Amino acid sequence: MKNYNKYKRLYDWKRPNERKWTDKEITKAPIWCSVDLRDGNQALAIPMSLKDKIELFNYLVSIGVKEIEIGFPAANEIEYQFARCLIENDMIPKDVTIQVITQAKKEMIEKTFEALKGARKAIVNYYNSISKKQREVVFRKDKEAIKQIAVIGAKTMVECSNKYSNTEWQFEYSAESFTNTEMDYAIDVINTVLKEWKDKTKLKPIINLPATVECSTPNIFADQIEYICENIKNREDVIISIHTHNDRGTANASAELGLLAGAERVECTLFGNGERTGMSDLVTLALNLYVTGVDPQLDFSQIKKAKFVYESSTNMKVPPRQPYAGELVFTAFSGSHQDAISKGLKYIKDNPNDYWEVPYLPINPEDINRQYEPIIRINSQSGKGGVAFILETEFGYEIPKIMQNEIGNYFKVITEKNEKELSNDEIYSKFSKEYKNRCDTIKIKKYKSKNAGNLTIIDLEYTINGEVKNRTKSGNGPIAAFIELLKDEGYECQVINYIQKSLNENNEKSEVVTYVKIKSKDKYIWGIGQDSDATKAGFKSVTSALNRMIKEEQNI
């Protein structure tokens, strides 16, 4: 790609080295303003229907968004009707303020106020573009003429608000293409607009500083915001808002740094829908606050609902790796990640009062009503810990550490052969079939046992290749007696490891699970026995191991 020399850094402004935002932290939620129904909607190939808009509006209200831009009524009849529908049907809760946008043209501002007639409270956001390129190439006007567009807009806003004085108005000025504008000129335009509004507004005016097209790294954006915050007249009487588009893929980062730099309000959309590459994402920004211990003042505890409403109203898709909401974000394929997650979750379970800190899981999926179930998937990349984790968390089998390698290797062979991921149920069924209560050749039916001095005597009914047998044998314990009996049958073996656990209490049946490793004919082999009777579970574990071995020999 040789044409890089046809480009230059679009924004070459450098702030003298006096920035303060670098040492700051975000300690409270900003004022959130959703622009889904305007910036988001105008970026859709097929704009939302009235029904979709109402569904999305109600959803935004339900999660706690208090400022919602509902459209551009002076430019679009459907958006005019939508504003009327919300107002006339009293669909706007008292604590929610609708916002509309308009160009800084007198007649458009007038039509905009008319569209809002009867509203309890509303924000009118008027804008004009002020960057050098837009001034020179698009509008062919000098700095003063462009500033006058903003001034005429500001005056018209005051006139219109006086005309519709039953509504509580809040004014917003958006300096479109702000980030491509010379900062001294931007501050001049903004201060001139504010001068027009001085003492004429009850509510603090909002100055919105958009990265209309993202043109720099987020640190430059933060410098720009801090510069405006420091040079604006009567800073405490103004709300500084940001609106960051995503052309370089860093809209969220810009928004976060913009907040550090002094902005107190963010215009954004669910999942970053917006013109071209979209804009900053309300869900990510809010949950990023949440996971640092800051109340986002929004309720995303049902994240699937956010995804559902967004997808159904916009016809867009939330990508699988979208932070917090994407299908794959709570999935770990890599074995070492699975192992770390399972240890981290166990630690949290044992230390419920600790802060959440689980490797690879920045948020507890349960907090946004996502499940542990899809956290780990088993494919050929998974390690031994992954299968053991699924078996324990989903099915209650606490596989002993010394057996995890065996099980991990068994599943590795299967997944490599199948070249596909295994579902939890497939894992369970393959695990059970291979290891548990196997009775291919030897099958335990009934037993009785009694003690005679130091010995245990067992009476066992069992089958070998379907032939029913009854025998009595003694040993140092029931398992030792059983091993003697098997020896008489020609199945000599030694118990190497014998671990008995109860099936995890979440399971309804209270059963005992025995994990055994035996040595037979110089081979080591594992088996599992499960039964409500602990001794029988022990017998079954040994026969499972032997049956596995016999089967293996038959297959050779």
Q: Which residues lie near Zn ion (CB under 5 A)?
A: 39
Pairing of strands 97-103, 67-71: parallel
Neighbours of 16 (CB within 10 A): 7
* Smallest separation (angstroms) from Zn ion to the CB of 267: 8
* Smallest separation (angstroms) from ligand KIV to the CB of 210: 3
CB nearer to Zn ion: pick between 57 and 72? 72
CB nearer to Zn ion: pick between 39 and 223? 39
| 256 forms part of the interface with ligand KIV (CB under 6 A) | no
* Smallest separation (angstroms) from ligand KIV to the CB of 39: 5
Give the closest residue to 37 by CA, choosing from 86, 71, 72, 75: 71
| 112 forms part of the interface with ligand KIV (CB under 6 A) | no
Return the residue nearest Zn ion (CB atom): 39
> Residue 80 carries which side chain, given as an amino acid letter?
Y
Q: Whose structure tokens read 């507890």?
A: 364
The answer to whether the beta carbons of residues 103 and 126 sit under 8 Å apart is yes
Residue 275, SS3? coil
Q: Binding to ligand KIV (CB under 6 A): which residues in 113-132?
A: 127
Q: In what order do the strands lie in the sheet with 442-452?
A: 442-452, 455-464, 467-475
CB nearer to ligand KIV: pick between 210 and 296? 210
Binds 127, which of ligand KIV, Zn ion, none (CB < 5 to 8 A, cut-off by type)? ligand KIV
Q: Which stretch binds ligand KIV (CB under 6 A): 206-214, 362-370, 524-532, 545-553?
A: 206-214
* Smallest separation (angstroms) from ligand KIV to the CB of 327: 29
CB nearer to ligand KIV: pick between 43 and 550? 43
Distance, in Å, from the CA atom of 69 to the CA atom of 80, rounded to the nearest integer, reads 13
Distance, in Å, from the CA atom of 463 to the CA atom of 444, rounded to the nearest integer, reads 7
CB nearer to Zn ion: pick between 36 and 39? 39
| 245 forms part of the interface with ligand KIV (CB under 6 A) | yes
| 176 forms part of the interface with ligand KIV (CB under 6 A) | yes
Residue 191, SS3? helix
Report residue 150 CA to chain centroid gap.
40
Take residue 478 and report the two structure tokens written for it: 């029931």
Q: Which of 30, 34, 37, 39: binder of ligand KIV (CB under 6 A)?
A: 39
* Smallest separation (angstroms) from ligand KIV to the CB of 42: 9
> Residue 177 carries which side chain, given as an amino acid letter?
S
Beta bridge partners of 462: 444, 469
* Smallest separation (angstroms) from Zn ion to the CB of 37: 13
Give the closest residue to 357 by CA, choosing from 365, 347, 366: 347
| 52 forms part of the interface with ligand KIV (CB under 6 A) | no
Q: Which of 112, 134, 170, 208: binder of ligand KIV (CB under 6 A)?
A: 208
Pairing of strands 442-452, 265-268: unpaired
Phi, psi of 471 (to 5 degrees): -145, 160
CB nearer to Zn ion: pick between 239 and 534? 239
* Smallest separation (angstroms) from Zn ion to the CB of 220: 18
Distance, in Å, from the CA atom of 64 to the CA atom of 300, rounded to the nearest integer, reads 9
CB nearer to Zn ion: pick between 39 and 226? 39
| Residues constituting the chain | 556
> Residue 506 carries which side chain, given as an amino acid letter?
N
Q: Binding to ligand KIV (CB under 6 A): which residues in 214-243?
A: 243
Binds 205, which of Zn ion, ligand KIV, none (CB < 5 to 8 A, cut-off by type)? none
* Smallest separation (angstroms) from Zn ion to the CB of 38: 8
* Total of chain residues touching ligand KIV, rule CB under 6 A: 9
Give the closest residue to 28 by CA, choosing from 203, 289, 251, 235: 289
CB nearer to ligand KIV: pick between 103 and 437? 103
Pairing of strands 512-520, 523-531: antiparallel
| 181 forms part of the interface with ligand KIV (CB under 6 A) | no
| 99 forms part of the interface with ligand KIV (CB under 6 A) | no
Beta bridge partners of 268: 34
Q: Which of 102, 174, 280, 474: binder of ligand KIV (CB under 6 A)?
A: 174
* Smallest separation (angstroms) from ligand KIV to the CB of 164: 23
Q: Which of 205, 210, 335, 527: binder of ligand KIV (CB under 6 A)?
A: 210
* Smallest separation (angstroms) from ligand KIV to the CB of 127: 4
Distance, in Å, from the CA atom of 63 to the CA atom of 347, rounded to the nearest integer, reads 32
Task: Identify the helix (H) or strand (E) that includes residue 481.
Answer: helix 478-488
Task: Identify the helix (H) or strand (E) that includes residue 228.
Answer: helix 218-231
**Helix spans in 64-142 (H):** 77-88, 106-115, 132-133
Binds 412, which of ligand KIV, Zn ion, none (CB < 5 to 8 A, cut-off by type)? none
Q: Which of 112, 181, 212, 322: binder of ligand KIV (CB under 6 A)?
A: 212
Report residue 385 CA to chain centroid gap.
24
Half-sphere exposure of 269 (CA within 13 A, CB side): 31
| 179 forms part of the interface with ligand KIV (CB under 6 A) | no
CB nearer to ligand KIV: pick between 39 and 434? 39
Q: Which stretch binds ligand KIV (CB under 6 A): 204-212, 424-432, 460-468, 516-524?
A: 204-212
Beta bridge partners of 265: 31, 241
Q: 261: which DSSP letter?
A: T
Distance, in Å, from the CA atom of 227 to the CA atom of 248, rounded to the nearest integer, reads 22
Residues binding ligand KIV (CB under 6 A):
39, 127, 174, 176, 208, 210, 212, 243, 245
